């Protein structure tokens, strides 16, 4: 069985061809923002979803409490693994800082003074100017204390529910066919299916590559049960197992019931909720309904 950490290493190598930002945990505490109105608008405002591709291995008794530094202070997060839940309202710099609750030296400087709790730097990544909705995928680099991140624009106007996108992390050009419509996913690129599902239906999905002799071969085929309430981001990698000529795929799925926007998050923060909606606690983002799948595909 292929380990998830091994796949993460392959994925990081693929992502090295695109902008990837990361940071080692540091010792400088995160800045606490004073209350009241700000003199200038935030550099970035977006609905931000953060999830682990592979979470770090913690020592026995060790905890990992994370937050996002915003213009208002620190917003607590509890990212799952390959799970699009816990979307937060982010208002802050273009360079997002994830911080970790830790113990820091006592600022009074007296010998023997007990350490104090503080938010210390953990990881960073950038969100784009047009990212109204952003997805950040975190990778714990095995054997180090480093965390890497890759971000994706998931604005609903360009990645709607009923949509299906392929992120090709292999070295091969992928020919994809969905419901008879063909599209191509170039190496290290993200490709969008021209088919947007409008109702629940079974759709035939194929992926193929061109071999060294110029012949096309199918590497994956399956009927998919799709509907207009889900959107899928489909990651494809070459299998790291030398004896296999196949591919490995991971599917990240979000349900429309778990979808949050800047407008909906601001309304919840202000207490202006739709009838029947429940207000979540100040420290805990509302979980979104989402799902992840792992599928191994084998070459012909």
Residue 34 domain-assigned?
yes
Calpha distance 292→201 (Å, rounded):
20
13 and 53 housed in the same domain: yes
Instruction: Kindly report the CATH number assigned to the domain that includes residue 227.
Output: 2.60.40
What Å distances lie between residue 210 and 176, 184, 194, 241, CA to CA? 12, 12, 22, 20
What are 44-62's pLDDT values in tens digits?
999 999 999 988 888 888 8
135 and 175 housed in the same domain: no
145 and 169 housed in the same domain: no
88 and 171 housed in the same domain: no
Stretch 176-196: mean pLDDT = 95
Asked if residue 27 lies in contact with residue 119, where contact means CB atoms within 8 angstroms, the answer is: no
Confidence class for position 244, pLDDT limits 50, 70, 90 = low
Percent of the chain whose pLDDT exceeds 90: 50
65 and 188 housed in the same domain: no
> Into how many domains does the chain fold?
2
For the chain, give the longest Cα–Cα distance.
Answer: 73
9 and 124 housed in the same domain: yes
Calpha distance 194→137 (Å, rounded):
25
Residue 158 domain-assigned?
no
Q: Which domain holds residue 128?
A: 4-109+117-153
Residue 71 domain-assigned?
yes
The reported pLDDT for the residue numbered 298 is 41
* pLDDT of 255 over the 90 cut: yes
More confident residue, 4 or 179: 179
Asked if residue 185 lies in contact with residue 173, where contact means CB atoms within 8 angstroms, the answer is: yes
What are 198-241's pLDDT values in tens digits?
999 999 999 999 887 888 889 889 999 999 999 999 999 887 76
| pLDDT winner (highest mean) among 39-43, 99-103, 282-286 | 99-103
- The pTM (predicted TM-score) of the whole model is 0.78
For tokens 């949509």, the residue is 163
CB neighbours of residue 135 within 10 Å: 21
83, 230, 47, 140 alpha-carbon torsion, rounded to 10°: 20
The reported pLDDT for the residue numbered 275 is 47
213 and 168 housed in the same domain: yes
For tokens 């759709």, the residue is 203
142 and 196 housed in the same domain: no
Plot region of 271 (φ>0 → left; ψ -120 to 50 → alpha; else → beta): left
The reported pLDDT for the residue numbered 52 is 93
47 and 78 housed in the same domain: yes
216 and 143 housed in the same domain: no
Residue 280 domain-assigned?
no
Calpha distance 226→200 (Å, rounded):
6
Residue 281 domain-assigned?
no
Coil vs helix vs strand at 66: strand
139 and 252 housed in the same domain: no
């Amino acid at each position: 069985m292929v380990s998830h950490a091994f796949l993460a290493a392959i994925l990081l190598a693929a992502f090295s061809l695109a902008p990837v930002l990361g940071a080692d945990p540091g010792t400088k505490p995160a800045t606490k923002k004073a209350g009241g109105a700000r003199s200038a608008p935030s550099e970035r405002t977006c609905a931000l979803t953060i999830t682990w591709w592979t979470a770090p291995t913690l020592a026995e008794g060790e905890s990992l409490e994370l937050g996002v530094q915003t213009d208002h202070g620190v917003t607590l997060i509890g990212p799952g693994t390959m799970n699009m839940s816990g979307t937060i309202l982010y208002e802050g710099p273009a360079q997002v800082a994830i911080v970790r609750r830790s113990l820091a030296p006592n600022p009074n400087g007296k010998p023997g003074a007990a350490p104090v709790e503080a938010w210390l730097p953990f990881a960073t990544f950038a969100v784009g100017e047009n990212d109204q909705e952003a997805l950040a995928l975190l990778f714990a680099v095995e054997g180090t204390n480093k965390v890497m991140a890759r971000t994706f624009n998931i604005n609903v106007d360009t990645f709607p529910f009923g949509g299906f996108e392929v992120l090709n992390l292999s070295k091969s050009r992928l020919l994809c066919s969905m419901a008879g419509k063909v599209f191509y996913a170039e190496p290290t690129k993200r490709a969008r299916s021209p088919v947007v599902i409008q109702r629940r239906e079974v759709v035939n999905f194929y992926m193929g590559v061109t071999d060294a002799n110029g012949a096309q071969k199918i590497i994956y085929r399956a009927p998919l049960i799709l509907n207009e309430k889900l959107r899928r981001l489909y990651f494809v990698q070459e299998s790291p197992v030398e004896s296999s000529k196949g591919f490995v795929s991971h599917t990240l799925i979000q349900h429309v019931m778990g979808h949050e926007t800047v407008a909906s998050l601001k309304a919840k923060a202000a207490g202006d909720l739709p009838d029947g909606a429940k207000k979540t606690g100040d420290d805990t983002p509302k979980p979104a309904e989402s799902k992840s799948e792992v599928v191994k595909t084998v070459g012909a």
